[in-house]
Structure 1
Amino acid sequence: MKKLFVLNGGAAVKPGNKSAFLKIDDPLSTFARGGINTGDVLVYDAMLKALDYDQVSNIQFAHAGDESLWPKQDYDATVIRGSNYLTESVDIGNVIPLLKKLKGPIVPVGVGAQAAKYKKLEMPKGSVEAWKIIADKCETIGVRGVYSAEVFNDIGIKNIRIIGCPSFYRGLRPSIEIKPLDPANARVGLTLNRYLSADYASNATKTNRMQRALIQAVARREKNRLYSQGEREETLAIYETGEEKQKHIQGILSKYDLMGDKDVEALMSDRMQAFFDVDEWAADAKKNVDVLVGFRLHGNVIGLHQGIPAVFFTYDLRIRELSTLFAIPSVEVEDYMPIDLEKIFENADFTKVQHVYRLNYAEYHQFLTENGLNHVLPKPVASPPEKPITKPNLVQMDPKLDDVTGWFQGEVDYMTSEIEVLRQRAWRLELALREHTKADGAAKKLAS
């Protein structure tokens, strides 16, 4: 029996070990406590589909310090589900005792760095030590992109291979063919991200304003739909009814300053979906959308691996390095241009995606093979790339002057009103502080 141990899988495994899902019997109580990133489940699912083991066990990084949860038997291999482990704020030093205890290879699959903009990362000492132990226990570490490889190089780890994210290869095909797209009539699938700031957005204001404009553009097409990728408020809005449902919808509309927009409200009331089973999520996208857009990485990948075209909106280093590595057409939020879905789809070049995918697939196949992992990937139809792509496949837009002028006038008006709101808040705070100081002074006089 071939046995696999997984670090940080983060989901349940179906019988047969080929698919991952979340065990959620009561979505309302679960999401009342917080959101869940179903993109992580997609990554785990894609790994399971590629690997071939009779038994799969899992422990989360958060629980790795509890020795009672450590495996009582030896495994043929250990894999680490890829995620944003290379950051200045996440220390995985608690995993070190378990790493030292595990026998056999420990292979990270799709590890990535997280930063808003390019910078040298000051990794926590515990993380550096943990990754050096892991590097000594595998042939190569599979990293997400060029920036992630550089971060490893900076801490002295050289045995890396740039494979992207395993979710891109979920279809287990050595090549993909992107389906043709009708820009005017395509059914669009949208994903949103309500928490884009700090290390997750190079410019939070531009990112969220662009996301707002995209919501409006998608909502105007009646056949378009919105996928909740584990977002708390969106998922609650799907499963709640009556007044509670409306309360959550109004909260989302308020977040994006879209109160009163009937098209957007209809999108969220009638055409919003959430899936906890990756197979069901993928099947729904295949059946109901012709193109995917949005601000969640895996909300686009759920279609791409099936040949459904997707356009990325790039706002941090993670999204930029992956969209660049796979030559996916992208719109850079820093350019801060008005949203015209039809023009974006007309100008998106997917021919590069098909070519580059074959090269990256060959790299992924070689990575799994050289690390001695049992896998079911068919043989590549191309050779691995001599070097990864470093130039993004930006969608070339030529907006009309009137469109740009109207867009920026509206944005300036919004920013001006926001500045005035902040000034009023600052003034009220100043008055409150003065009153507090006056009252405190009076109290001290009475006490003396």
Structure 2
Amino acid sequence: MTRILLRGAQDPARVLEPYASTFAVGGNTGNLLYAHAVHRTLSTRAATVRAGAFKAHLLDDPAAWAAKVSSRYDHLVLPMSNAFRIGFSSYLERYAAIIEQLDIPVTVVGIGAQTTADAADHPADIRMGRTGSEKVAAAAEAARHNAVVRRFVDAVLARSESIGVRGELTRTYLVSLGVDPGRVDVIGCPSLFMWGPHHRVREVAGTIGRRSHVGFGADFRVDGATAFAERALREHPRLLVPVQDSRSARWVVAGKEPQGGARPEVVDDLFRTRRLVYFPSPWGWIDWAGRQDLLVGYRLHGTIAGLLGGTPSHLLVHDSRTRELAELHGIPHTRIEDLTSVPSVAELAERTDMTRFHELFPDRFHAYLAFLHRNGLRTVHDDGEDASAFDASIARARTTSFVRPARTRAGVQARRARRVLARRFGRR
């Protein structure tokens, strides 16, 4: 039996009380989608996969942890996202220090760059940036960060055949640091391969109008997001906005208003009208997304949740992360710099064609599996395997629904009481 430790903020089969769940998403529910997808893919008959290690970079004694992991597991798998961003530099260095002390194979799945949307147009000098910023690092800061990235990649490649990156921009960035191009595999985002090689997304059915069910992935750090949200709310009374970050989730669940930083008035309108919703389970999020007529927005994994639900989805591209994956996977998208006015949801629906996504999907999926096989990992898609046991384990979680903001003061107080009980029984 192969023992795999997989970097994940929670066990995929676990069903948590809503408030407690906000502390177990790794800061953003999108983190659960790619981790759970890799977990499902590796859950073969001859493997035991355990979620953990999400906060390994915060440990006081990484040497002791590395020794324990090396003795208890046969493989460490690290599903990651935009971990090459500047803001993650110190944590990435800690991960490098931990990996350097491990005696088992280490496989990094789906790691990516974080910089401006036009970085791919200037490949000679790619510098990382911060999430939600249009600025890249200054030369000195970029040089320090590049050294950290190189140390991390070298530590991984000393324990694996290759590193799996999100797209061509990330690959170009690593090669510019001197990493062997033959050991950098472009695999896209593992979230999209959750359901295997035959997954399909339906096309937009009819006109998207006032009676349509629309999901909006809001990121108000992006220019134009507020104006887009205001128009979408006027034109689509059934529109809902799933919150992904932990602080907003606690606001929805318990009335605990996020502190610091101004927010646009439309956010308070969304809360007051109960359009903000939170999904304690990513499986419930996917299933809800599958019942919508269209998903639109700036959130990468909000878009991916829609695609996993089989719903046509349109991504508004605003940085290297969103551009890299939209182009690699053929996700319907519009670059915000190409917009001359605030678009309507209906206009984006007219531009949403899933043909390219379906054309690319088989090759992208096989490249993903080839990467896992190259690094000694068997999958549920291999001969003689299936995901039935994993799918049975998440059946209850798939029935969970969303939480809306409490309508009354009494409702808020009731939720706060449940929060106290959750903490008292050890579930935070």
Tell me, yes or no, whether TM beats 0.5: yes
Give the superposition deviation at 1:57: 5.0
Q: What is residue 126 of structure 2 aligned with on the other side?
A: 120
Amino acid at match of 1:104: I
Match of 2:377 among 373, 379, 396: 373
Q: Is 1:42 paired with 2:33?
A: yes
Match of 2:50 among 42, 45, 56: 56
**Counterpart secondary structure, 2:290:** helix
Q: What is residue 136 of structure 1 aligned with on the other side?
A: 158
Listed as ranges, the gaps of 5+ residues in structure 2 are 120-124, 128-141, 384-428
Higher relative contact order structure (alpha carbons within 8 Å, sequence separation ≥ 6)? 2
Contact 1:188 1:223 in 2 (8 A): yes
Q: Is 1:84 paired with 2:82?
A: yes
Give the superposition deviation at 1:169: 0.9
Q: How many residues align?
A: 347
Q: 1:329 to 1:28 in 2, by over 3 A?
A: closer
Match of 2:215 among 184, 189, 194: 189
Give the superposition deviation at 1:179: 3.9
Listed as ranges, the gaps of 5+ residues in structure 1 are 14-18, 197-206, 380-448
CA RMSD, 1 decimal: 3.0
Q: Is 1:166 paired with 2:193?
A: no
Contact 1:226 1:268 in 2 (8 A): no
Separation in 1 of the partners of 2:236 and 2:375? 47
Q: 1:219 to 1:372 in 2, by over 3 A?
A: farther
Separation in 2 of the partners of 1:377 and 1:150? 30
Q: Is 1:223 paired with 2:223?
A: no
Q: TM-score, normalised by structure 1?
A: 0.70
**Counterpart secondary structure, 2:171:** helix
Give the superposition deviation at 1:268: 5.2
Amino acid at match of 2:241: L
Q: 1:349 to 1:75 in 2, by over 3 A?
A: same
Contact 1:20 1:45 in 2 (8 A): no
Separation in 1 of the partners of 2:161 and 2:26? 36
Q: Which has the larger radius of gyration?
A: 1
Separation in 2 of the partners of 1:156 and 1:266? 47
Separation in 2 of the partners of 1:28 and 1:55? 21
The within-5 A match list for 1:1-400 is: 1-6=1-6, 9-13=7-11, 19=12, 26=19, 36-52=27-43, 53-56=47-50, 58-59=52-53, 60-64=55-59, 66=61, 67-70=63-66, 71-72=68-69, 73-89=71-87, 90-91=89-90, 92-117=92-117, 118=119, 119-121=125-127, 122=142, 123-157=145-179, 158=181, 159-185=183-209, 186-194=212-220, 196=221, 207-230=222-245, 232-233=247-248, 235-240=249-254, 255-258=263-266, 265=269, 269-287=273-291, 289-336=292-339, 337-377=341-381
Amino acid at match of 2:263: K
Contact 1:193 1:231 in 2 (8 A): no
Separation in 2 of the partners of 1:35 and 1:370? 28
Amino acid at match of 1:153: V
**Counterpart secondary structure, 1:255:** coil
Q: TM-score, normalised by structure 2?
A: 0.73
Q: 1:338 to 1:57 in 2, by over 3 A?
A: closer
Separation in 2 of the partners of 1:181 and 1:268? 31
Amino acid at match of 1:131: V
Give the superposition deviation at 1:30: 5.6
Q: What is residue 394 of structure 2 aligned with on the other side?
A: none
Contact 2:202 2:312 in 1 (8 A): yes
Between the two proteins, what is the percent identity of the paired residues? Answer: 23
Contact 1:43 1:81 in 2 (8 A): yes
**Counterpart secondary structure, 1:293:** strand
Q: 1:220 to 1:177 in 2, by over 3 A?
A: closer
Contact 2:290 2:308 in 1 (8 A): no
Amino acid at match of 2:19: D
**CA-to-aligned-CA distance 1:253-299 (integer Å, 9 cap, x gap):** x722449xxxx836753333211311121122223x12111111101
Contact 1:64 1:98 in 2 (8 A): no
Q: What is residue 401 of structure 2 aligned with on the other side?
A: none
Contact 1:179 1:309 in 2 (8 A): yes
